[in-house]
Structures are given as structure tokens and as C-alpha cells.
Amino acid sequence: MNKEWTGNKTSVFATAGAARSGARDRAPGDFYATSPRAVDALEHAGKLPKSVKIWECAAGQGDLSEAMAKRGYEVVSTDLHDRGYCDGGTDFLQAKELLAPCILTNPPFALATEFCTHAIELGADEVYMFLRLQFLEGKRRHKELYSKNPPAEILQFLDRMSVARNGDWSMSSKPSPMAFCWMVWRKGYTGSPQLSWISADKRLIS
């Protein structure tokens, strides 16, 4: 199943990075690479996954995978598209087998709800999703996702994170105008989400 979505020239604010690229077509496959600083923030706050083995199911060019591997995690990297890091052809939404106890990724925004839901349904102990803060909004999303599977934690960045359209960091020297957070699901959690502030700059949370 190939749900690649490219949007159009009127999709202003439609997805991550759209504030600056709304006048352009979306990146093929909705590919916006994630700064490794997003993992730095988890580490500074003591919020890294407890699971040693992680599945990065939309690995892209490996930014998050490498950041986690450098911290000693065993990372299984897959993607629907071959972007030169791992073999393409693995459609996460069609996956029947859980490849690691923890799923950690920046999902394609157009399919973010489906990615979150499928990760939970696969039975992951932990699910870490890098998402726009606006992902908290939406009646349909609340009905289909949050009311059934509330996140255990919302980890809001104090500083803006960078994302790179098509993985081109030379074109993404400035932080994104979009606000991002990590949303974390834990198997069996039923309470209200806990909010914490995190930062890639350790001085801001010390």
C-alpha cells in the first residue's frame, strides 16, 4: 500500500514545515527529516525509551536512528521509500509483526493518526511520535485515537526543532516556525496525559 502524498501549492500550514514552504509542493513521501536535537532533549530530561530495542519505522535518511544508536540502542530501521539509509519497501501500516518493543519515529503528517494507532495496535510497549503540537487538536482524532488510547506523556519542546524538507539540511539552517512535541504512549496506560517541558539546551531545564 503506497499512500505517498505530495499535497499542492495551496497546502499552507497543512503539515510540518508548511509555514515556510506552503507555496511549494510537499516533499515526496511527506519526507521531513528530524533534527537529532529532538533526541538530545529526551536525554536531557531523562525521557529516553526504557526499551533497548527500537523500531524506527519511517527512518528516512537515518537521523533519528543514528541518534538512538549512538546512545546504545539497537535500532531496526525501515521505510516505505529508499532514501539511501535503509532498504525501502516496508509499509509500516501493513506490518503484521512488531519488530521491537518500542516504536520511535517522525511519521508522515498526512498519516500520523494511522501511524500512532497502528503502533499501539501492534502491541508496542512504548510509542514515541515526533508530532506538531497541533496534532492535539481534532474531533475525529480524539474519537479515533485519544479517547481510546490516551498518550501517557506529552513532552513539549521549549525550543523550536528543525526539520529538513527532503532531508536537505543545507536548506533548513533555521528552526522550524512550527511547534513540535514528543507524544509517548505506554502499553496499558489509561490516565490523563502528563505534560513535561523538554529542551535540546540542557541549561533551559536545569
pLDDT at res. 166: 73
Higher pLDDT, 99 or 87: 99
DSSP state of 26: P
pLDDT tens for 65-85 read 999 999 999 999 999 999 999
| Contact (CB, 8 A) for 112 and 141 | no
Percent of the chain whose pLDDT exceeds 90:
70
In this predicted structure, what is the pLDDT of residue 94? 97
For residue 23, the model assigns a pLDDT of 39
Amino acid letter, residue 166: N
pLDDT attached to residue 135: 96
For 96, the grid coordinates are 503484521
Paired with 128 in beta bridges are: 104, 184
Q: State the chain's mean pLDDT as an integer.
A: 86
Count of other CB atoms within 10 angstroms of residue 47: 15
3-state secondary structure 86-97: CCCCCCHHHCCC
33-204 is a CATH 1.10.3720.10 domain? no
Q: What was the pLDDT predicted at 28?
A: 53
Any idea which of 28-32, 55-59, 95-99, 154-158 has the lowest mean pLDDT? 28-32
Distance, in Å, from the CA atom of 87 to the CA atom of 206, rounded to the nearest integer, reads 40
Total-model pTM: 0.85
pLDDT one-digit tens code per residue, 147-177: 999 999 999 999 989 888 777 767 766 667 7
Average pLDDT over every residue of 116-141: 97
The confidence score (pLDDT) of residue 26 equals: 52
CA 118, 196, 189, 141 dihedral sign is negative
pLDDT at 185 over 50: yes
Instruction: Kindly write down the DSSP assignment for every residue of 125-184, as one continuous string.
Output: SEEEEEEEGGGG--HHHIIIIITTS--SEEEEESSPPPEEETT-GGG--S--SS-EEEEE
State the pLDDT at residue 92. Answer: 98
